[in-house]
Amino acid sequence: MTDQQPTVFPDLYLHDTLQRKKVLFTPTTPGRVGMYLCGPTVYSDAHVGHAKKEVAFDVVRRYLMHLGYRVRYVSNITDVGHLQNDADEGEDKIAKRAALEQLQPMEVAEKYFWSFMDDMARLNVLRPDIQPRATGHITEQIELIRELIERGHAYESNGSVYFDVRSWPNYGELSGRRLDDQEEGTREAVRSEKRDPRDFALWKRAEPAHIMRWDSPWGVGFPGWHIECSAMSLKYLGEGFDIHGGGLDLEFPHHEAEIAQAEAAGHPFARYWMHNNMLTIGGEKMSKSKGNFTTLRDLYTRLDPMVVRFLLVSSHYRSITEFNDEAFVGAQNGYRRLTDALNEVERRLPDAPERDDSALIARIEAHRADFERAMQDDFKTPEAVAALFGLTRDVNEALAGEVGRAGLEAAQAAYRTLGGEVLGLFAGGQGPQQDDSQLLDTLMELVLQARQNYRLNKQYAESDRLRDRLTEVGLTIEDTKNGPRWKK
Ligand SMILES: Nc1ncnc2c1ncn2[C@@H]1O[C@H](COP(=O)(O)OP(=O)(O)OP(=O)(O)O)[C@@H](O)[C@H]1O
Ligand SMILES: [Zn+2]
């Protein structure tokens, strides 16, 4: 099979954190893009902030694919518990959760990996081409640390290995922080192992109680927080790969450390850095540790995941998205406007008459051009969504009268390509209609309530009849100590 790739790609501008400005994007290998995104630490359910990041970069990837690029999208899974704070101390997040849930650390990682995958699938986030796990790449991480020691940029101390920031003058180039401005804040015991308090751990000696542990040239231990991303992105995308993404909160120290680890070892790192801004609640970053989060799981009981996605793409990836009920209502209405129009277009298509729709088609093309222009200017999704609303205004106006096949087909193609393929707003491909599973959840909640009322009134025969009838259609009710549950 030959590669069907366009030879000319339209100009695409993106904001590069490293250059602190919007720049023209040119991939290293014509027609191909290698992208790496810092993925989740799998120790709890994903929240809406994680969704902002995943959707932001999913849209970047989808748009590159839409332009005709072949994209290799790599996103890691942190399944080794790195320590709780940036100063290389505190508890191991995964181990802490394992103790709480009485599970093995690897059970915790497995459980939350799958919950993350399910949550993102419902948001219509495409699966990464490669999803490397940190625990599966300990050898690569050890190798990179060894190179750093050999080149004099890292040193072993008491069974741990630290990156020597003073040996690498470029440290701070991404975040613009000068070494002298960087915080110290490290506990005395850890500080005494370091030559400089700002040095960060590449490898940590494991205390006897630490479950996740590996042999290394420096004794039994586990990797530091940052090293996995340098090792795995280089392994799967090669030196000088194109785009590295992640949340703005990771710029320092995580991304700064990723660059230093790779480049000090002699491996040119990412050429463009993209950072999404934060999803906030009451003006504060939504985060696991602050406890001010709403999990996607919870949110999906109230909202169609596609509305959540619509809400996220309605603000720019570099803007703050404030999360509140008003925003939901707006997103619900906005999404409805698009899907109502598309549903009507598709309903009419099979019996559409032949007629001249050139005026409508010209307007559709103009909205399409607006959409592309917005996306080529640093992925301005709010403007792209505005173009879809412009399209919807014209389509609705046309639908008020008679529209021919050509007009309907052009409208359908615009919605499906731009709203569907690029923005990922119409999951599944079978149409934008409401997802029935959502409906089923709501109905079953009502049924369980009705059954509970029967039981409270001691109407056990009615309650049993309800349950038996559900069993006949393949729905089972189980009474647990936390109340009744149902499953298909
Ligand atoms: N509120 C948010 N808005 C946008 N992106 C976020 C938000 N919270 C986390 N992210 C991104 O998700 C990824 C994983 O984040 P992380 O696991 O540190 O979540 P967190 O909730 O900030 O956890 P913690 O509070 O324990 O640091 C990072 O790339 C981070 O930038
Ligand atoms: Zn990373």
- The fold for domain 324-432 equals Four Helix Bundle (Hemerythrin (Met), subunit A) (1.20.120)
Would you place residue 485 in the very low, low, confident or very high pLDDT band (cuts 50, 70, 90)? confident
Provide CATH 3.40.50.620 ranges for the chain. 13-276
137 is in an annotated binding site: no
Tell whether ligand 1 has an atom less than 6 A from the beta carbon of residue 41. Answer: yes
pLDDT at 437: 57
CATH 1.20.120.640 domain locations along the chain: 324-432
pLDDT, tens only, 265-299: 999 999 999 999 999 999 999 998 899 999 999 99
pLDDT, residue 372, reads 98
Ligand 1 contact, 287 CB (< 6 A): yes
Q: Are strands 243-247 and 272-276 parallel, antiparallel or unpaired?
A: parallel
Euclidean distance between CA atoms 105 and 87, whole angstroms:
22
Q: Give the ligand at the shortest distance from the Cα of 38.
A: 2
Q: For 477-485, what is the mean pLDDT?
A: 73
Q: Which residues pair with 14 in a beta bridge?
A: 23
pLDDT of residue 184: 53
Q: How far is the CA of 45 from the centre of ligand 1 (A)?
A: 12
* Mean pLDDT along residues 78-87: 66
Choose one of 287, 290, 296 to mutate for the ligand 1 pocket test, by most ligand atoms within 8 angstroms of C-beta.
287
Once rounded to an integer, what is the mean pLDDT over residues 450-457? Answer: 79
Q: Specify the pLDDT at position 8.
A: 87
- To the question of whether residue 326 is assigned a binding role by annotation, the answer is no
Cβ atoms of residues 93 and 84 within 8 Å: yes
Sign of CA dihedral 13, 18, 19, 20: positive
Helix axes 405-414, 381-399, angle to 10 degrees: 160
Average pLDDT of span 243-268:
97
Would you say the CB of residue 286 lies under 6 angstroms from ligand 1?
Answer: yes
When the candidates are 3.40.50.150, 2.40.110.10, 3.40.50.2000, 3.40.50.620, the CATH number that belongs to 13-276 is 3.40.50.620
pLDDT digits (tens, 9 = 90+) for 120-150: 999 999 999 999 999 999 999 999 999 999 9
Lowest-confidence region among 404-418, 435-449, 469-483: 435-449
Q: Is 39 in the pocket of ligand 1 (CB under 6 A)?
A: no
Residues with CB under 5 A from ligand 2 (ion): 38, 229
Name the pTM for this structure. 0.86
Q: What is the pLDDT of residues 378-427, one digit of tens each?
A: 999 999 999 999 999 999 999 999 999 999 999 999 999 999 999 999 98
Does the beta carbon of 279 lie inside 6 Å of ligand 1? yes
Would the annotation count 229 as a binding residue? yes
| Averaged pLDDT of the chain | 90
Residue 50 CA, closest ligand 1 atom number? 12
* Alpha helices per DSSP H over 252-357: 256-264, 296-302, 305-313, 325-348
User: Which of 43, 284, 288, 289 has most ligand 1 atoms within 8 Å of CB, for mutation?
Assistant: 288
Tell me: is residue 481 an annotated ligand-binding position: no
Dihedral, 252, 255, 260, 262 alpha carbons, nearest 10: 170
The CA distances from residue 94 to 41, 100, 130, 366, 475, in Å, are 8, 10, 22, 51, 35
When pLDDT is cut at 50, 70 and 90, the band that residue 474 belongs to is confident
Do residues 216 and 203 make contact, with C-beta atoms less than 8 angstroms apart? yes
Torsion, Cα of 182, 188, 194, 196 (10° steps): 30
User: pLDDT at position 435, please?
Assistant: 47
316 lines ligand 1 (CB under 6 A): no
CA of 276 to the centre of ligand 2 (A): 14
**250 in ligand 1 pocket by Cβ < 6 Å?**
yes
Among all ligands shown, which has an atom nearest to the Cα of 249? 1
> Does the pLDDT of residue 467 top 90, yes or no?
no
The answer, yes or no, to whether residue 58 has pLDDT greater than 80, is yes
CA–CA distance from 229 to each of 17, 49, 66, 243 (Å)? 18, 20, 27, 13
Q: Residue 28 and residue 271: Cα distance in Å, rounded?
A: 9
Whether ligand 1 lies within 6 angstroms of the CB of 71 is answered as no
Check pocket membership of 50 for ligand 1, CB cut-off 6 A.
Answer: yes
Q: What is the pLDDT of residues 165-180, one digit of tens each?
A: 999 999 999 999 876 6
**Residue 258 marked as a ligand binder:** yes
- Work out the angle between the directed axes of helices 381-399 and 325-348 (0-180°, nearest 10): 40
